[in-house]
Amino acid sequence: MQLKVVKFGGSSLADAEHFRQVAKIIKEDPARRFVVPSAPGKRSKDDTKVTDMLYRCYEMIKAKEDIEEYFELICKRYNEIIADLGINFNIDGELTYVKNAMLHSSGRDFAASRGEYLNGLILAKYLGFDFIDAENVILFKENGTFDDEKTNEILSEELKKHEHAVIPGFYGVMPNGTIKTFSRGGSDITGSIVARAAGADLYENWTDVSGFMMADPRIVENPCAIDTITYRELRELSYMGATVLHEDAIFPVRIAGIPINIKNTNAPEDRGTMIVPCAKDYDSKKVITGIAGKRGFTAITIEKDMMNSEVGFGRKVLEVFEDNEVSFEHLPSGIDTMCVIVQTSVIEEKQEKILNSLTRAVKPDTINVDNGLALLAVVGRGMVKAKGTAARIVSAVSAADVNIRMIDQGSSELNVIIGVDEKELESALKAIYAEFVK
């Protein structure tokens, strides 16, 4: 029989009505055996996520403010869900424990993690599933990084003991027993870890949109949804700022070759987006899979005559960045020029020092620093087969009267990256979308 791991985001578990919808989805398919919930999200635009309320409590305690009244709001959210679902479950003892632990300096991550923990308890009770506390099965290493192999070993053993279980997302435990969370949106990662450990056939990630869009809907009106996308394409788009799934959620399922299906809790019949290890097929009318863009880059262009014949030139340049603990994002180069693209926020304070070191290290003819650069990634596995994609991108952008400051085609032919002025990011993105998606 098939096995599916299902993760539900905060908006899918924001109130009792959503809990009912989630239970309906789970019960509809017996393969949906392991469930990873987030903390309750926003019920309306102006609402506050429980995770943010917990962070706020932590800050209040640090500032020696009284949390009594504010913490009561958190209790109210959980108690409202329980009452409205009509389950016989008293969570007050847990809530009091959480409050006291927070008051006795149990840490910021502990505070934040309780959003998922408490929601997991309620969901397990409502579904009649076992509850597996993530603190027993999701392990971090001494240095704070996730311990994938040890976790996989322990978690797979644990899952074998349960027919159905709820495993709260977002957190795990350090070797010394303290709670540690992933970065924000980290329940996606837990879902992926559980899918790998369970040897699932599919990881369903339920959210409030029907999958990935080909472009940011805040820029392109009503963009088409992406049907199928490969892990690698997704990685390129997520890196460039396309959200929906946490960037790190790809790795655990990728190791195991498990596909991810992004689904909409509020429209479960929609197909959503399938994220797959590899795909031969693509819609020949859609050479590209998606477009994403990000602001905040700086290009440092180093020019020197006969650079191409100077052995070790590139290494010396990169060594300067390494010594200053700056990682580079892209490296487009010409015969006598080398351009290092970095995030502006990372380099800002170190810029002068880096420029001086570069001058000493490679004695360039000129060095130019260009701030205010936005990068746009046009991604698609169809580009390998289609001729003239780069030409179409360039003409579309120039027809929109946008100046291209850099162009870089990945050797995998999976993406073309272009750099434009930050102010022109939206015009460029719209122009490329209109060219490829008609």
Q: Which of 339, 203, 338 is closest to 260 using CA atoms?
A: 203
Taken in order 34, 36, 40, 41, the sign of the CA dihedral is: negative
Q: Which is nearer to ligand ASP, 192 or 298 (CB)?
A: 192
Q: Does 51 bind ligand ASP (CB under 6 A)?
A: yes
Q: Which is nearer to ligand ASP, 122 or 342 (CB)?
A: 122
Which stretches of 248-365 are assigned E, i.e. beta strand?
Answer: 260-264, 273-276, 290-303, 337-343
- Closest distance to ligand ASP from the beta carbon of 248 (Å): 11
Q: Does 243 bind ligand ASP (CB under 6 A)?
A: no
Q: Does 265 bind ligand ASP (CB under 6 A)?
A: no
- Closest distance to ligand ASP from the beta carbon of 387 (Å): 42
Q: Which of 5, 6, 16, 39 binds ligand ASP (CB under 6 A)?
A: 39
Q: Which of 4, 18, 32, 49 binds ligand ASP (CB under 6 A)?
A: 49
CA atoms of 300 and 370, how far apart (whole Å): 6
Give the range of 98-106, 179-187, 237-245, 370-378 binding ligand ASP by CB under 6 A: 179-187
CB of 119 closer than 8 Å to CB of 39: yes
Give the range of 148-156, 180-188, 321-329, 401-409 binding ligand ASP by CB under 6 A: 180-188
Q: Which of 139, 129, 426 is closest to 295 using CA atoms?
A: 426
* E strand or H helix at 356: helix 351-362
CB of 6 closer than 8 Å to CB of 207: no
76's CB contacts (< 8 A; 6+ apart) are none
- Closest distance to ligand ASP from the beta carbon of 6 (Å): 14
The gap from C-alpha 411 to its chain's centroid, in whole angstroms, comes to 25
Nearest residue to ligand ASP by CB is 187
Give the range of 73-81, 141-149, 178-186, 388-396 binding ligand ASP by CB under 6 A: 178-186
Q: Does 122 bind ligand ASP (CB under 6 A)?
A: no
- The site that binds ligand ASP (CB under 6 A) totals a number of residues, namely 13
Q: Does 10 bind ligand ASP (CB under 6 A)?
A: yes
71's CB contacts (< 8 A; 6+ apart) are 57, 99
Tokens (6 digits) for 138:
């999701």
Q: Does 187 bind ligand ASP (CB under 6 A)?
A: yes
Q: Does 170 bind ligand ASP (CB under 6 A)?
A: yes
Beta strands 32-37; 130-131: pairing state: unpaired
Give the residues lining the site for ligand ASP (CB under 6 A).
Answer: 10, 38-39, 49, 51, 115, 169-170, 184-188
